[in-house]
Homo-oligomer: A and B are copies of this chain.
Amino acid sequence: MNVDGKAMRSIWVEPDGWSIGVIDQTVLPHRFATVRLTTLQEAAHAIRAMVVRGAPLIGATAAYGLCLALRQNTSDDSLERSYDSLLATRPTAINLKWALDEMVAAVRNRPRDERSAAAYRRAAEICDEDVAINTAIGRNGVALIKAIAQRKKAGERVNVLTHCNAGWLATVDVGTATAPIYLAHDNKIAIHVFADETRPRNQGASLTAWELAHHGVPHTIIADNTGGHLMQHGLVDLVIVGTDRVTAYGDVCNKIGTYLKALAARDNNVPFYVALPSPTIDFTVTDGVAEIPIEERAADEVATITGRTADGRIETVRIVPDGSAVANYGFDVTPARLVSGLITERGVIAASRAALARAFPDRAGAAE
């Protein structure tokens, strides 16, 4: 999508044909800076330090990390060590392992002098496939927005609420929850986004707002507490969020606080949709609340916050009393009964076992 009026992706091969460029997401929204990755170690560090984040972008960065490693050493031994070292950067990200497995499959049976070129080709495909999936999600989801727009009076906007960042910064481009939003905006549908700030890491205020602003999509940042009030007063037409994992029955694991917005949507008859690439569906899990382990993260994410001072320095401040305990759960699970539908690359699907099995018969069957 656009940054300062110029179309770009979140990861790219530099003009030298081999080094990799990414956006440094740790200093957004206050500074826009790119980082050039030239070694396996630099790629691994970018993932670990969250210079890049979001499951699809982590997968893409790992894929190119393996390219950088093979450029220096094409041996089986190097391939294996590089795989292990990249896999260890963010052990819970499901796309990371998938992308690394794809890369190994693409190069393993080739002569050593072909491996590097084959790796770059497969990494580029992985990126293009991500964009193609997200573009399809956008096409399928934009129909929901169009239908609402047609019921609006002249001059009224479609108001979408989203939580966290399931935007193009989390993917290679387009994003998942944002895909229908960008497509609607590009098609001249009047759309406005309420972006939950998304404590404790503030991905909504820092990343979603930044990318919407750069692409020119009207938006308003709100505290996470606000969505229920907006829905009570008819100020939200539609909720679209992303997800980290969807179960075989359609339960949705996503950033902590998603469940509260789903409850408010249900209480006020606001449609609640989840946008996802189908690999996010985990057909081995049935009951999301009971079965999905919820990561507890560092207390400092709640206890401190980073921002920009009046004189332009990036500073971290503590916002809780010394000695108070802090709990930091990263995700929650929204039961399928609260989900209006799943926006996938194969269409908008009901959040139910039957509908998911029908849409993905190969994968649903394999997991039984």
| A residues lining the B interface (CB < 8 Å) | 28-30, 194-195, 197-200, 202, 205-206, 209-210, 212-213, 218-230, 232-233, 255-257, 259-261, 263-264, 267, 289, 294, 302-310, 315-329, 331-333
Distance, CA A302 to CA B226, complexed state (A):
11
CB < 8 Å neighbour of A305 from B213, B307, B323: B307
Interface pair B289/A326, CB less than 8 Å apart:
no
Contact B309 A307 (CB under 8 A): no
B residues in contact with A224, CB < 8 Å: 199, 223-225, 257
Closest to A220 in B: B325
A221 to B200, CA, bound (A): 12
Closest residue on chain B to residue A266 by CB atoms: B263
> Which chain B positions have C-beta within 8 A of A209?
320-321, 324
Find out whether the CB atom of B228 lies under 8 angstroms from the CB atom of A260.
Answer: yes
Q: Check if A210 sits within 8 Å of B308, measured CB to CB.
A: no
For residue A286, give the distance in angstroms from its CB to the closest CB of chain B: 16
- In the complex, what distance in Å separates the CA atom of A332 from the CA atom of B332? 23
CB–CB B308/A305 < 8 A: no
Q: Which of A223, A263, A323, A331 has the most CB of B within 10 A?
A: A223
Please give, as numbers and ranges, the residues of chain B lying within 8 Å of A307 by CB-CB distance: 304-305, 317-319
Complex CA–CA separation, A316 to B233 (angstroms):
32
Q: List 17 A-B contacts (CB under 8 A).
A: A29-B321, A194-B327, A197-B320, A199-B199, A221-B327, A223-B328, A225-B257, A225-B332, A226-B332, A229-B329, A229-B331, A260-B261, A260-B263, A263-B263, A306-B319, A310-B316, A315-B317
* Contacting residue for A232 out of B202, B219, B259, CB 8 A: B259
- Nearest CB of chain B from residue A42's CB, rounded to whole Å: 27
Chain B residues with CB under 8 Å of A206's CB are 319-321
Per DSSP, are chain A's interface residues mostly helix, strand or loop, or mixed?
A: mixed
Q: Is the CB of A229 within 8 A of B317?
A: no
Q: Cα distance A28–B320 when bound, in Å?
A: 9
Query: CA separation between A316 and B319, bound complex, in Å?
Result: 11
Residues of B near A333 (CB, < 8 A) are 229, 232
B257 touches A264 (CB 8 A): no
Q: Which residue of chain B lies nearest to A164 when distances are taken between CB atoms in the complex?
A: B225
Give the docked Cα–Cα distance between A227 and B329 (Å).
10
A316 adjacent to B309 (CB under 8 Å): yes
Provide the bound-state CA to CA distance between A302 and B259, in Å. Answer: 22
A326 contacts across to B, CB distance below 8 A: 220-222
Residues of B within 8 A of A30 (CB): 318, 321
Q: A185: shortest Cβ distance to chain B, in Å?
A: 16
Inter-chain pairs besides A197-B320, A213-B323, 11 sampled, C-beta below 8 Å: A29-B321, A29-B322, A199-B224, A209-B320, A210-B324, A212-B324, A222-B327, A225-B257, A229-B329, A232-B289, A317-B317
- Contact check, B29 vs A320: say whether CB atoms are below 8 A apart: yes
A199 partner residues in chain B, CB cutoff 8 A: 197, 199, 223-225
Partner of A319, one of B202, B256, B323: B202
CB-based nearest B residue for A258: B225
